[in-house]
Amino acid sequence: MKDSKLNRRNFLKASAVGVTALTTANNFFGEELTALPSESGRQIIELNHGWLYNEKFTPEATKPNFNDKSFTVVNIPHTNKMMPLNGFDEQDYCFVSVYRKKFILPKGIENKRVFIDFGGVMTAAKVYLNGQIVGENKGGYNDFSFELTKFLNWKGENLLAVEVDSTERKDIPPFGNLIDYLTFGGIYRDVQLRIVNPTFIENVFVTTVDVLTENPKLQLKIFYGGKYQLEGNNKIKIELLDAEKVIVNATDFAQFPDDGPRNPVYKIINVNSPITLWDINNPKLYKIRIRLVEESLSYPITEVKVHDQYETKIGFREAKFTPEGFFLNGKHLKLRGLNRHQTYPWVGQAMPARVQKRDAWILKHELKTNIVRTSHYMNSPHFLDACDEYGLLVLEEIPGWQHIGDKAWQDLSVRDVEAMIKRDWNHPSIILWGVRINESGDNHDFYTRTNATAKSLDDSRQIGGIRNKYDSELLEDVFTMNDFRFPLRPPNHPLYLNTEHNGHMYPTKRFDNVERVREHTHRHARYHDMLASDAKYAGGLAWCAFDYNTHSYFGSGDRICYHGVSDIFRIPKPAAGFYKSQCDPSEEIVIEPAFDWATGDEGDFFKDALICSNCEKLKVYLSDELQGEIEPDRKTYLNLKYPPFVINLKKRLIDKWGVLKIEGYIGGKLVGTRQMSGKGVEAKFLVNADDKELIADAIDMTRVVFRVTDEFENTLPFAFGAIQFSIENGEIVGDNPASLIGGSGAIWVKSTQKAGLLRLTAKHPRHGSKVVEIKTTKSL
């Protein structure tokens, strides 16, 4: 039952999802697995397809001869129970379920070692093979692996069974007391078989050193697994690749640690080649390839055998918190970000790679943030990959919420620190490890352990720990503080980062009245204005990016916390316009009114119309008549680079109501225009998918947003109606019919295994039908 830590970088990048399929396991025989021909010494076989699932676990279900004909066929990631959008009882998914997977091993691997790798199972998992228990994992956010080798049937069918406990167990972080989020259940991240030689590369940590000098270096820690007594002339070969071009290579005799697999072999390599730094505006990624090979002893030297090959992406960058703020590659950068929960409507956490990556895209390109916090647990590896690719900085933290349990509970939390860092240490986007339980009290001995664990694993990054007590003991490098007061308290430590503000202090729905959505926007602007006032604030991350499901004792009583600047579908609220407006105009011209244009919706008739923009000047017209030329409100917002604009329209509305037009100017030139209808008439029904192509694997998914708008395509918040969907060559994930909420809403659509065209028809009761077509292919 040897536990082998997951080699995350070799985890198959399946674009997976899980919603319950409509078929049952009638005559469902073992799948004969196929491993692609490999010259790397290892074979990776995805196990996301064709699991058999039942909501009720029985011990007999772990046995090969168990009758599972009544089970449902599902794919991974999978949620143990589809839930309503809101208004549900979270106890409905808190049960122990069982998953079964039958398979036959590929031929020719009898002398190999075989591991099963799980990306995440909520909350605890016992893994069985052919009726024998292989191992148990406690924790829903850590990856884990078990060796299957000695339990395998090498010539016939194997039965893999997983007992999944999705209850809120008090012995496992984050549980033990109240927590302000839901965890849902199921095998919600990818699963794979990893087949390796008796000696293999378990993990590699790559640090880029001296990147701001003319002599950058790579420092590698290579962790081996298995026996180390290799015969022959064995070498370790290291290559740095730019795309597929090798720009640096080094070869040395293979060396193995004397004191076991937990200790690495160190290598330092000079990079005698020009490099491009990884930056938020140019997130340049390179690939490291490490090969353990046996070479011939006589000339000509040739490779006799490849024991293993390991690949990981890296970026050259220097990230540092200082008393003068945060610096990336020697340049000051004020951090402006949001917190993110990785949960979604209906399926909880069981969303595929594409959807996870879309959140990073929204944060970077729609909300224009430069940092995200993975509150309050390790987020999807696919999300972190996208942060690397898009140039979005990350504060990643361990699971927990205010509560610290007993010694065994704390041991699991220390384990989480190790699992988090070992899984994610090669991500250039990650600049800070969070090693405290969010908003917990001080516990000197416990946090001495979490800090020591983090430093022993990764001394290249600084460490933080999120607290809400201003006088909390500081064991970490950076004092990371949730401060919801306004004005904010001044930094009380040299390295200081605000990690939450706003949020629960002023929950706001996208369709709330104009006074509330305006004040919501002002509050986000006020906090960031104050954070910009002093370089000692490294920056701040507001609570939060997206609305999320939570327990009955939090939120608005309907199992949703409306704390986001975007709603649970990732559709932006007016406050999102503030974040968007803080980007440079060269990236995008932003003109975002923090209101909906409707006469009589505010008692004072738009006394203070708030507009978020990165323009130098705005001209505001009502029914084609100029109402004013306005500049940013620098009296209120002294420190923001792009303050909001405010115009008093109180005396100009009654007899001139009509189209509101806002023109943006930079350098005296018109650079953008925004118009809002004064008719109050539903003019358009729009339906748009995030993606035009999907993988035809019955797993891949994309979001489809539907809206009712005015003639200028501004969403009308008081548009109602039920949208009826029909689909060809696909599956709808969400309500059908689906209600317009504040004039808009979303569902997700999933591919089938048939390549071709996914065709979704959306029918509005008044505005007719719209069709969305998505191409599906076997690979992209």
In this structure, the strands spanning 51-54 and 72-74 are: antiparallel
Burial of 259 (0-12, 13-18, 19+ CB in 10 A): exposed
In this structure, the strands spanning 684-689 and 217-226 are: unpaired
* Omega before residue 376 within 30° of 0, cis: yes
SS3 513: coil
Tokens of 443: 């516990």
Distance CA 760, CA 721 (A): 18
Tokens of 11: 């985890």
Angle CA 437–91–409, to nearest 5: 30
One of 163, 439, 592, 682 is an active-site residue; which one? 439
Contact partners, residue 771, CB within 8 Å, separation at least 6: 759, 760, 761, 762
The alpha carbon of residue 416 and the mean position of all alpha carbons in its chain are separated, in whole angstroms, by 17
Contact partners, residue 779, CB within 8 Å, separation at least 6: 695
* 389 catalytically annotated: no
Distance CA 347, CA 85 (A): 9
In 3D, which of 395, 444, 435, 438 has the Cα closest to residue 417? 435
* 663 catalytically annotated: no
CA distances from 40 to 147, 221, 413 (A): 20, 20, 35
Burial of 444 (0-12, 13-18, 19+ CB in 10 A): exposed
One of 46, 318, 500, 682 is an active-site residue; which one? 500
Sign of CA dihedral 125, 127, 133, 139: negative
In 3D, which of 466, 376, 460, 378 has the Cα closest to residue 417? 378
CB count in 10 Å sphere of residue 587: 11
Distance CA 572, CA 408 (A): 42
Distance CA 94, CA 17 (A): 20
Tokens of 27: 């005559």
Burial 156-177 (b: 16+ CB within 10 A, else e): eebbbbbbbbbbbbeebbbbbe
**Are the C-beta atoms of residues 711 and 751 closer than 8 Å to each other?**
no
Q: Where are the alpha helices (DSSP H) in 533-572?
A: none
Q: In which order are the strands placed within the sheet that holds 303-314?
A: 245-253, 233-242, 286-295, 303-314
Angle CA 765–771–777, to nearest 5: 145
**Are the C-beta atoms of residues 633 and 646 closer than 8 Å to each other?**
yes
Burial of 487 (0-12, 13-18, 19+ CB in 10 A): exposed
Distance CA 83, CA 101 (A): 24
**Are the C-beta atoms of residues 318 and 278 closer than 8 Å to each other?**
no
Distance CA 59, CA 443 (A): 40
- What does the CA dihedral 730, 734, 736, 739 come to, rounded to 10 degrees? -140
φ, ψ dihedrals at 361, nearest 5°: -60, -45
Q: Where are the alpha helices (DSSP H) in 54-179?
A: none
Catalytic residues: 439, 500
